[in-house]
Structure 1
Amino acid sequence: MPAPYPQEFREDVVRVARSREDGITIAQIAKDFGVHEMTLHKWIRQADIDDGNRPGRTREESTELREARKQIRLLQQENEVLRRATAYLSQANLPKRFYPLVSELAADGIPVAVSLRVLKLSRQPYYRWRHQQVTQAELTEAYRANALLDAHVDDPEYGYRFLAGEVMCERTAWSICRDNQWWSVFGKNRGKNGKRPGPPVHDDLVKRDFSADDVNELWLTDITEHWTDEGKLYLCAIKDVFSARIVGYSISDRMKARLAVNALDNAASRRGDVAGCIVHSDRGSQFRSRKFVQTLNRHHLIGSMGKVGAAGDNAAMESFFALLQKNVLDRKRWRTRDELRIAIVTWLERKYHRRRRQARLGRLTPIEYETIMNPAVSLAA
């Protein structure tokens, strides 16, 4: 069963179809984007339903129905867990877990003796717990925190090493100061632009060797931005080095980690088996984020990362963005983000992938090159 098209890709194709010029048919747009004509008609019909222009079940209603069924199954599972947990707790000897319950019942007027008898708990351990609910370790940490706070207020220039003293080790003092955000007033040196580059989360596995022997062997990714009258629009694209094809992208008005994650999910969804593929990027915060690294692991991809301020470490991706800048972004002033988005996806799917021939590919387009060199790759991938 073929993988479903990413939702962002479907919405972009529908946008292009709705804003098509006179003389351009739905069949031509479907061909340009590599989808079947009937598939595009189904997408347009569903979009009309979602917009309220046509009767039917909206995508949101379908999603809510699936979520409701999922919640019902989850509740059934949770009820089974609670049923078995009740039987387990009735047999287990877990007195300290019940002591707070005994106190709450006593506040509601139920005698302690009754609660202890029903719960089969002893009286003396309960009153011993009432007398000292805080453990000795917690009490010691509180005393240490008070001592550190007094020393910090007395001289804010001191860091945790000077605050530690003789009553605790440096590591303990650092842990308490970190949890309470007690830092020395002296800040650390910053970079030239006010921000220090973050540490790499991957090694550089590419070393500026932008070559691949097969599809899904090496991907490059980066983010570009462009102004519109409504504000900036951000594009995160993923390029397959083998055929220079953009295998996944995501467009948004915010440059967050989610932008890079969506682009990677879209690429993996359209390409199928991508395990072992290297994904090379710069050291931007979006590509160092926990969400992006988790997405790499989920698809069994291998991360790679260049140096700070070294454009040559991702030169092949920069060349694509320069081509996009010249052919689309700088051609005119864009009034809305939606207008620029349609122009980007139209140029990408219609011209770059299917009409623009590249000398490196033997005067073939990326689609033609993949079809000839690797027929197993579907045109709709």
Structure 2
Amino acid sequence: MTEIPTACGKLYLATVIDLYSRRLLGAATSRHPDATLACAALEMAVVARGGREAIWCDDEAQRVIFHTDRGSTYTAQAFRALCTTLGVRQSMGRVGSCFDNAAAEAFFSSLEWEVLSRNTFSDNIQARAIVIDWCYTFYNHQRRHSAADGLSPVNYEIRENQPKPEAA
């Protein structure tokens, strides 16, 4: 979760990123950095992947894993209950270690450098529009990632989901 400064105060952004492709699956904003915001981002991510039925797995060892920090947002009962309902396993980094969630930190660093440092937002509506557009239009479809073989997250997923040729 990160803060977006505006002339009207802070706007908070919660995200869910697929570690495999670096695709941003959920991005929610609010004036409050709470479990409701985190739940909204997670629910968006589940919808992006086809809904609960598409991600559910009876074998707990094979379930989707959502890694976060140990902040009160992600340890809140409401967030934990949503993870249980969706069949998502929670994973949390060590207290005070940003390195345990490097993908999220890298995303927020890119957002800061490419968007926040270059814009002054007059209000939350403007900030949300610009940030969400960057997330879903530029970051997912155009921004290349070394972890995705130099492709954008969406193009990487398309390539990886192509049928593989049969070995001779």
**In the alignment, which residue of structure 1 is the partner of 2:59?**
none
- Indicate conservation of the 8 Å contact 2:4/2:127, yes or no: no
> 1:351 and 1:256 mapped to 2: Cα distance?
27
**In the alignment, which residue of structure 1 is the partner of 2:125?**
338
Q: 2:158 aligns with which of 368, 371, 374?
A: 371
Change in CA separation of 1:294 and 1:346 when aligned onto 2, cut-off 3 Å: same
1:263 correspondence with 2:68: no
> 1:301 and 1:355 mapped to 2: Cα distance?
29
Change in CA separation of 1:334 and 1:367 when aligned onto 2, cut-off 3 Å: same
TM-score, length-normalised on structure 1?
0.39
Segments of 5+ residues of structure 1 without an aligned counterpart are 1-222, 377-381
Kindly report structure 1 stretches of 4+ aligned residues shifted beyond 3 Å.
Answer: none
Q: Describe the SS at the equivalent of 2:32.
A: coil
Sequence identity percentage: 35
Q: 1:245 aligns with which of 5, 8, 23?
A: 23
Q: Describe the SS at the equivalent of 2:40.
A: helix
**Superposition pairs of residues 49-60 of structure 1, within 5 angstroms:** none
> 1:347 and 1:241 mapped to 2: Cα distance?
19
Q: Does 1 or 2 have the higher relative contact order (CA < 8 Å, sep 6+)?
A: 2
Pairwise CA distance, 1:239 = 0.4
Larger strand proportion of the pair: 2
Per-residue CA distance 1:242-291 (angstroms, 9 max, x = gap)? 00001112111111110001111111112122231000000010100111
From the CA coordinates, give the structure whose radius of gyration is larger. 1
TM-score, length-normalised on structure 2?
0.88
Q: CA RMSD in A?
A: 1.3
Q: Which amino acid aligns with 1:320?
A: F
**Superposition pairs of residues 41-190 of structure 1, within 5 angstroms:** none
Q: 1:294 aligns with which of 76, 81, 85?
A: 81
Q: Describe the SS at the equivalent of 2:95.
A: coil
* Matched length: 154
- Indicate conservation of the 8 Å contact 2:14/2:27, yes or no: yes
**In the alignment, which residue of structure 2 is the partner of 1:85?**
none
